[in-house]
Amino acid sequence: MSASPSPDTVDTPHKKPCVPPVIIVLPPKPTIPTDATAGGVVAGEGGAAAAAAAAAAYFVSPLYPAEQVWRMFTTLCGHDVRANREFVFFITGKPAPYRHNAFRTAEDFKARLKALRPYRVDLGGVYTSPLTDDPILPDKLELSARELAFDIDIDAYDNVRECGCSEQRFCRLCWPLVNTAVQFICHRLEALQLKQPFVFYSGNRGIHIRCLMSDEWLFYAPDKNVREATRRMVTLDPLLGGYAIGSVRERGVFTAIISTILPVSQTTADAYGCSGSVPFEDGFAGWYALNHPRHFIKSLMGSASTQVGAFASRAARLVSDATISSAQLIEREEFTTLRHHVISALHELTPQTCDTGETGAIVKAALATMLPRVDAGPTDDPGHLLRAPMGAHTTTGRIGVPIVDVAHFYPDDCAPKLCRLPSGQITLDRMDLADTARLTMEEWVSNMTMFP
């Protein structure tokens, strides 16, 4: 097989920038085929042992795209890392994961899956020395590289969810918070000229982002400080983390905030395919307010600003009225006044006013909801294990499918679920979704540098 073009010369599966659409409209919930559920959905039946057994059966079945997973994570940043990339297996009855596995061929990977029957597959980093079957003490291994990763979970937004959900529970009202965070991060990655990331569902309560074709300087950056600084730049975390803008101005954080939440040009709006359907002069803050009005209002209710606090209190009465839809809410005078006051404050933002005074209070309150809430561990720590895509989550039974249309993704609609037929065979409740996921995986790996 001839080598494919390098990542610098091929198009990624996503042709357009992954930016927020105008209005998030989720598709109707699909009907589950009766033949696939006649034996009952596996998740939640029989406890953790049964769920692990079902997941183990899935990993050794033709349903699991083992070859695509292996190919995707053994070619990183244009480099062949087959001998050095760590695969980690979680096995029923074993208290510790089975680590430091590397596979030179997809067939070797499949054979190990069949022999071990894991219920979960994770990914470690890339080591300086090849990993072999010979015993190697962990302290003898030196981590060389790992892709940049971002994990976003819905429970990070518990303090702004108005729907009654908390922890791992989610619904159609609160899940778009995760979608928005992913879109924001993808937009920021593009602004920082990092290549299009791979996005997939965790199988449970969140979405994962992997920069598999990121620039080499970042790929070969095992230093936690470098990765932490990158995370803060991408998520604009310094503003919310109690860091004074002046102390990090040299890293361009203030410029990043301005370019992200303030006006975008009409040319940019046209490129995003959203021209004329949202007041883009208000930038991302305006878009967020229109799409998440209840969360936007709640984020402002504790503002130290007397003026914005008064507006938020008036608008808060609308939030508590479940009979008022989001579309009706954004047309109300109370909300319109609040929104325009916040946008005006953002336009007046300067390094000097960002941390103090009324403008600073408004900005911090608004961004507390708008900016993504990322689990720092997977991003900052290059030794942190990462969940591999297309795995079966033992809590929900759902498959961690790749996501192309982030804006419209909702787990119940877009992620197939493990089921057991009356015959005892493991299958999926939506084979059409599973087929689409495998095709998406194949498209991604075909756009990465392959080797014979």
**Amino acid at the residue 139:** D
Q: Which of 120-134, 241-255, 301-315, 385-399 has the lowest mean pLDDT?
A: 241-255
Closest Cα to residue 69, out of 339, 363, 400, 406? 400
Asked, for residue 152, whether it belongs to a domain, the answer is yes
pLDDT for 29-83, tens place per residue?
333 333 333 334 454 455 678 888 899 999 999 999 999 999 999 887 778 889 9
CA-closest candidate to residue 203, choices 160, 153, 147, 146: 153
Residue ending a domain, among 370, 404, 437, is 370
In a domain, 18, yes or no: no
**Same domain, yes or no: 59 and 200:** yes
Whether the per-residue pLDDT at 435 is higher than 70: the answer is yes
Sign of CA dihedral 378, 383, 389, 390: negative
Residue 31 is predicted with a pLDDT of 37
Last residue of a domain, one of 370, 394, 414: 370
Is 23 contained in some domain? no
Last residue of a domain, one of 353, 370, 387: 370
Structure tokens at 363: 């900005």
4 in any annotated domain: no
pLDDT value at position 258? 52
Nearest to 206 by CA among 7, 373, 354, 362: 373
d(CA 399, CA 108): 23
Answer yes or no: do 44 and 128 share one domain.
yes
Q: Which two tokens stand for residue 96?
A: 């510790």
Pair (181, 270) in one structural domain = no
Q: What radius of gyration do the chain's Cα atoms show?
A: 23
Number of neighbours of residue 418 by Cβ within 10 angstroms:
24
Total number of domains constituting the chain: 2
Q: What is the pLDDT of residues 142-164, one digit of tens each?
A: 888 888 899 999 999 887 777 78
Split at pLDDT 50, 70, 90, the class of 278 is: very low
Pair 331, 383 in one domain = no
How far is residue 187 from each of residues 20, 130, 139, 166, 299, measured CA to CA in Å? 8, 36, 38, 27, 22
pLDDT (average), residues 154-183:
86
The pLDDT assigned to 152 comes to 95
Q: How far apart are CA 432 and CA 445, in angstroms?
A: 20
User: From CA 394, how far away is CA 411, in angstroms rounded?
Assistant: 15
| Segments forming the whole domain that contains residue 158 | 34-215+379-446
